[in-house]
Amino acid sequence: MNNIELNKARAVYYGLFSSLFSYINSEKEFNEIKKSIELLSQVPIDENSKISFEELNSFLEEKGMTGLIEENNQIFFSPSTTFIPVTASFYNEDRDDGHKRVEMTSIVLKSTFRKDNTTFKEAEDHICFIFSFIQKLLEEDYSKINNELIIETFSVVLNSFIDSFIQDVYNHEESKFYKNIAIILKVFIELERALLNIEKPTEHKVRKQHDIFHKKKKGFTKKAKRNFDEVTSL
């Protein structure tokens, strides 16, 4: 596989993860997710991801858009289930809008892309924005492997918390479809580390506030609406 083919596949992976960890509420979004999974399942990275892709396709065939949206809400937006942080700041500093957001914003300002505040209300160190930003950088020039901004985004921001995030998604009590996504993401992240020559950080210490959220459950089940769109070019 040459650089262009490799980077196109990487961009599809990053775009898929960005979509899956945001709020899914339209048939268009569902169809794009389904199409990406079908495409990537044709050339899985390893045997573990091959099995996971097969289970994802079976899930979507059986439960369709309703099943995916329901699980997406139960894992990421319902206050009645275990809370999963979605920002680098929360995993590193026990709160949103911390130093990691500043670092991520500084990286974005070095690029030709900016966050579209009219459609995406979350912070720059939100997992969806990070994935979407890297996807855009790849799409900007498919021929480059050593894209400095991708390496900086991965090594400075994403690498610091992605393993804890994957573990949270995999272990969530409502995770079925997303358990397989966590497996695929873990395999993909290890491949990215090898490709970008970035070492896995030493074991991330889960902070106190994170433990508190994982012990408490609330009784309210109303869905929370979040607006998300990708970064836009200048």
DSSP states of 181-215: HHHHHHHHHHHHHHHHT-PPPSPPPPPHHHHHHHH
Q: Tens of pLDDT along 101-149?
A: 999 999 999 999 988 888 888 999 999 999 999 999 999 999 988 899 9
Based on its alpha-carbon atoms, the radius of gyration of the chain, rounded to whole angstroms, reads 17
| Residue 66: alpha-carbon gap to chain centroid | 21
Domains of the chain: 3-196 (1.10.3480.10)
- pLDDT band, very low/low/confident/very high, at 14 (cuts 50, 70, 90): very high
1 or 168, higher pLDDT:
168
pLDDT, mean of residues 11-36: 96
Cβ proximity of 146 and 104 under 8 Å: no
Q: Per the structure block, which two tokens stand in for 147? A: 């894209």
pTM of the predicted protein model: 0.88
Quote the CA–CA distance of 3 and 207 in Å, as a whole number: 39
Q: Per the structure block, which two tokens stand in for 11? A: 């961009």
Q: Tens of pLDDT along 193-217?
A: 999 999 999 866 655 555 555 555 5
Cβ proximity of 37 and 64 under 8 Å: no
3-state SS track over 77-145: CCCCCCCCCCEHHHHHHCCCCCHHHHHHHHHHHCCCEECCCCCCCCCCCEHHHHHHHHHHHHHHCCCCC
